[in-house]
């Protein structure tokens, strides 16, 4: 994908229905391009080994992949012997997943309409786009069978803090709206654990995991892929200067002496089961 073309695995999670359906609730609804994702953000699925291990899919299980993207992880779950349904918003991503032979459909993370159907719900790098987290967790709870597990990973508290702070500073310097630097939901484990409990889950494990992430196409590629709306608020003639300010503020922390960029990712990873703690369960 070319820098400047907006796509996102993240946005695909938040809105997984028809494009104009839910503009009021989640404002950034641009669907991802599978090609662009592959170029700028393939690391999202490549670095998902930890949460995949927490899912530990078993043969015969019925699993929902919430925000399946191009199906790279869906395919791994299927290879483990599970029967998987993927949902996503992006038509391009859904096409890519179908090309892999995955069973996928368009859907909305805030309006899941499954009823007691799944042994597990899995989600990677998606739920930070769902600012209405309460709606997403309620839908996951409805979708699971009693005792079913919810295993997810997404951006946690402090995620991309250096990048966000530099964009906020650039907005102040150039007279822009700083709020556009941070449209995401990055909860603490305490915050998200409480939300899960409110919806009838027992939390088995939940943690913040710092994961410095090398950026294959540099910081400009990352910003163009994931935060273009911040720059679009400025007149075209002014955007290069804003970008220059933001990037120069990040540089001392995120660019090494060889010129390689690393984003300051912090993940929140969780496993929760629907229902009360069972005897002998190591629930927290
Ligand atoms: C993330 O995966 O944590 C993330 C990616 C892009 C923007 C924000 C967060």
Distance CA(199)–CA(222), nearest Å, equals 35
Q: Is residue 221 part of a domain?
A: no
Q: Is residue 178 part of a domain?
A: no
On the 0-12 / 13-18 / 19+ scale of CB atoms within 10 A, 186 is buried
Q: Is residue 228 part of a domain?
A: no
CATH number for the domain harbouring residue 36: 3.40.50.150
Give residue-wise pLDDT tens across range 38-52.
Answer: 666 666 666 778 999
Q: Is residue 84 part of a domain?
A: yes
Full residue range of the structural domain in which residue 137 is found: 5-159+184-215+262-274
- In the predicted model, residues of the chain with pLDDT beneath 70 are 1-46, 278-284
Q: What is the pLDDT of residue 23?
A: 28
The reply to whether ligand 1 has any atom less than 6 angstroms from the CB of 226 is yes
- Cα of 50 vs centre of ligand 1, distance in Å, is 17
Q: Is residue 231 part of a domain?
A: no
The reply to whether ligand 1 has any atom less than 6 angstroms from the CB of 265 is yes
**Domain tally, the chain:** 1
> Distance from first CA to last CA of the chain, Å, rounded?
42
Q: Is residue 139 part of a domain?
A: yes
Q: Is residue 233 part of a domain?
A: no
Q: Is residue 226 part of a domain?
A: no
The reply to whether ligand 1 has any atom less than 6 angstroms from the CB of 10 is yes
Q: pTM for the full model?
A: 0.85
């Amino acid at each position: 994908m070319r820098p400047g073309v907006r796509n996102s695995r993240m946005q695909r999670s938040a809105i997984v229905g028809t494009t104009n359906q839910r503009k009021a609730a989640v404002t950034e609804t641009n669907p991802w391009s599978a090609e662009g994702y592959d170029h700028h953000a393939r690391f999202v699925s490549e670095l998902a080994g930890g949460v995949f291990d927490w899912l530990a899919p078993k043969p015969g299980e019925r699993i929902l992949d919430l925000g399946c993207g191009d199906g790279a992880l869906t395919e791994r779950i299927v290879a483990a012997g599970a029967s998987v349904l993927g949902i996503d918003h992006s038509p391009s991503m859904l096409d890519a997943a179908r090309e892999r032979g995955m069973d996928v459909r368009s859907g909305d993370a805030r309006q899941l309409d499954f009823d007691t159907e799944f042994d597990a719900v899995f989600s990677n790098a998606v739920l930070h786009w769902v600012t209405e987290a309460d709606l997403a967790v309620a839908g996951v709870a409805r979708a699971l069978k009693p005792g079913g597990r919810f295993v997810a990973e997404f951006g946690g508290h402090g995620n991309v803090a250096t990048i966000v702070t530099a964009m906020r500073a650039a907005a102040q310097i150039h007279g822009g709206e700083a709020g556009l630097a941070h449209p995401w939901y990055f909860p603490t484990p305490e915050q998200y654990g409480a939300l899960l409990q409110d919806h009838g889950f027992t939390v088995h494990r939940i943690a913040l995991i710092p994961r410095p992430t090398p950026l294959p196409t540099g910081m400009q590629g990352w910003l163009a892929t994931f935060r273009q709306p911040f720059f679009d608020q400025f007149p075209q003639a002014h955007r290069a200067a804003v970008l220059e300010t933001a990037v120069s503020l990040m540089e001392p922390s995120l660019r090494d002496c060889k010129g390689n960029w690393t984003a300051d990712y912090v993940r929140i990873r969780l496993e929760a089961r629907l229902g009360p703690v069972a005897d002998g369960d190591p629930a927290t």
